């Protein structure tokens, strides 16, 4: 924050990005002083409380992949922020969710601050959902919205598209400023808590991946969900970043079609489609996303470098994780990679965060360096330690079962953990040290 006009932002170095913002009086909380005066802050005993977090009553949206991410449906009175790049499909997803809920007999309101009612209706028509009784409004003034929604039956679901376009008369800042976004969100959250309506706030994300403005809203809402995807691919991933009422490690997978988003109940098949089975430098990783196994292809390219400092580039995985695996391969696997450029890519635009991907990444790297293709019917998983040891990972059985289901015959895994007694239809090879893996591929 700066007290005078300034052209350059000292924090990020960008020019002409600072905007003026008046620091208005704090947003008044209605009834706050009254309540305090009368000593109204009531205290409840913990053991008698109903409906605590995980067991909160829920209203399923009717879209399985969305319910998986929220933890089984919408909790009445909760507020969800859904962020994503412009054009990623947020409005489409919420139009579909709203329509499905309206068809199930719930009152659903879709408030657009970006498009005219006709445009929203046109989208619904394109999606084949124009018969659903969703109430549409093009409105940006929060007080008007709250007044409209409070009229008649309280809506089960209210979708606000987007929070950046909303403004409230309770603060004096210009529309679009952080102060307005915060004030509007506060008013809408209060509406949700008092009426029991589930409110979904749409938030646009800036280039650097932050939810612009709505960043300040993230800590106020019950759940933050991000809708991701690469414009080059036709699938989209819904991921919970924060969830007061459910898990944060589940993902929902959707495929973009001409008639909107279709649920993908078997994502592994989608991510493995179009695989080049005879190429060196690819390995299939048997991963987990929450409770669901997910198989993806990891691609590596290791090539002699003409640069003084060889290049290291990675898409879809943690660069520091790649550096570590490369260092371990050099120190304990006998590989010489100092003069090689290394590229690593997770196919399909997926992002992997599990350490269990180490072994698959290492296998892809060794395969590329050796110029030897790995057997196409093999999956890999296992975490690699700095000593070169391959360590067991959670849910080995679930990973193996998914691989078997998709037609894989072999797996390279860490030594089995003690609780891993079950038989699997796969031929399992254990690699207890990174040297085992190198020896097997390069042999």
Question: Is 87 within any annotated ligand binding site?
Answer: yes
Residue whose CB is less far from ligand TYD, 206 or 257: 257
Length of the chain: 443
Stretch that binds ligand TYD, among 31-39, 257-265, 269-277, 286-294 (CB under 6 A): 257-265
Using CB under 6 A as the binding rule, whether residue 209 contacts ligand TYD is answered as no
DSSP state of 224: E
Q: CB 123 → ligand TYD: shortest distance, Å?
A: 7
User: Nearer Cβ to ligand TYD, position 227 or 245?
Assistant: 227
Q: Residue 156 binds which one of ligand TYD, Mg ion, none, with CB within 5 to 8 A depending on kind?
A: none
Give which of ligand TYD, Mg ion, none residue 51 binds (C-beta under 5 to 8 Å, depending on kind): none
Q: Which stretch binds ligand TYD (CB under 6 A): 9-17, 87-95, 175-183, 385-393?
A: 87-95
Kindly state whether residue 261 participates in binding ligand TYD, applying the rule CB under 6 A: yes
Displacement of CA 51 from its chain's centroid (Å): 27
Query: Applying CB under 6 A, which of residues 130, 150, 257, 265 lies at the interface with ligand TYD?
Result: 257
Which of 28, 31, 87, 334: binder of ligand TYD (CB under 6 A)? 87
User: Helix, strand, or coil here: 223?
Assistant: strand
- Residue 201 near which of ligand TYD, Mg ion, none (CB within 5-8 Å, type-dependent): none
Whether residue 111 is annotated as binding a ligand: the answer is no
Phi and psi at residue 137, in whole multiples of 5°?
-150, 140
Q: Residues interacting with Mg ion, by CB under 5 A?
A: 91
Query: How far is 46 from 50, CA to CA, in rounded Å?
Result: 9
* C-alpha 239: how far from chain center: 2
Do residues 433 and 333 make contact, with C-beta atoms less than 8 angstroms apart? no
Q: Is 258 annotated as a binding residue?
A: no
Query: Binding marks (x or -) toward ligand TYD, 29..58, rule CB under 6 A?
Result: ------------------------------
Min separation Cβ 257 and ligand TYD, Å: 5
Rounded CA separation 142/169 (Å): 8
The end-to-end CA distance of the chain, in Å, is 61
Q: Nearest residue by C-beta to ligand TYD? A: 89
At how many degrees (to 10) do helices 117-126 and 90-103 cross?
Answer: 80
Nearer to ligand TYD, 39 or 258 (CB): 258
CA distance 82 to 239: 9
The nearer residue to ligand TYD, 89 or 382, going by C-beta atoms, is 89
CA angle 73, 265, 203 (to 5 degrees): 50
Asked if residue 407 lies in contact with residue 273, where contact means CB atoms within 8 angstroms, the answer is no
Sign of the CA dihedral with 338 first, then 339, 340, and 341 last: positive
Angle among Cα 330, 335, 337 to the nearest 5 degrees reads: 75
Contacts with ligand TYD, residue ranges (CB under 6 A): 84, 86-92, 256-257, 260-261
**What residues are designated binding site for ATP?**
84-91
């Amino acid at each position: 924050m700066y007290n005078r006009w300034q052209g350059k932002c000292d924090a990020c170095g960008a020019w002409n990005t600072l905007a003026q913002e008046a620091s208005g009086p704090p947003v008044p909380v209605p009834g706050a002083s009254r309540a305090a005066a009368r000593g109204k802050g009531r205290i409840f005993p913990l053991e008698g409380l109903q409906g605590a977090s995980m067991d909160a009553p829920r209203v399923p949206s009717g879209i399985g992949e969305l319910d998986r991410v929220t933890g089984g449906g919408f909790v009445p009175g909760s507020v969800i922020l859904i962020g994503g790049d412009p054009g990623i499909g947020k409005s489409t997803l919420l139009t579909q969710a709203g329509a499905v809920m309206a068809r199930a007999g719930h009152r659903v309101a879709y408030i657009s601050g970006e498009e005219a009612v006709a445009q929203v209706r046109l989208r619904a028509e394109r999606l084949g959902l124009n018969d659903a009784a969703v109430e549409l409004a093009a409105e940006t003034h929060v007080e008007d919205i709250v007044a409209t929604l409070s009229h008649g039956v309280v809506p089960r679901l209210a979708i606000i598209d987007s929070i950046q376009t909303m403004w409230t008369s309770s603060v004096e800042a210009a529309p679009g400023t952080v102060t307005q976004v915060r004030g509007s969100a506060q008013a809408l959250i209060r509406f949700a808590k008092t009426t029991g309506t589930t409110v979904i706030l749409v938030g646009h994300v800036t280039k650097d991946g932050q939810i612009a403005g709505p960043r300040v809203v993230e800590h106020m809402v019950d759940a933050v969900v991000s809708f991701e995807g690469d414009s080059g691919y036709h699938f989209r991933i819904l991921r919970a970043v924060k969830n007061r009422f459910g898990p944060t490690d589940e993902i929902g997978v959707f495929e973009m079609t001409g008639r909107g988003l279709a649920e993908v109940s078997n994502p592994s098949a989608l991510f493995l489609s179009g695989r080049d089975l005879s190429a060196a430098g690819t390995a299939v990783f048997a991963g987990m996303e929450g409770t669901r196994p997910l198989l993806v292809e990891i691609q590596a390219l290791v090539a002699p470098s003409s640069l003084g400092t060889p290049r290291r580039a990675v898409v879809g995985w943690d660069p520091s994780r790649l550096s570590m695996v490369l260092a371990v391969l050099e120190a304990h696997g006998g590989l010489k990679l100092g003069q090689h450029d290394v590229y690593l890519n997770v196919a399909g635009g997926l992002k992997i965060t599990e350490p269990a991907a180490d072994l698959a990444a290492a296998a892809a790297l060794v395969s590329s360096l050796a110029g030897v293709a790995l057997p196409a019917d093999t999956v890999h998983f296992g975490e690699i330690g700095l000593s070169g040891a391959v360590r067991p990972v959670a849910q080995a059985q679930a990973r193996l079962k998914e691989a078997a289901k998709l037609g894989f015959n072999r797996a390279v895994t860490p030594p089995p953990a003690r609780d891993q007694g079950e038989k699997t239809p796969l031929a399992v090879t254990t690699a207890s040290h990174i040297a085992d893996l190198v020896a097997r591929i390069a042999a």
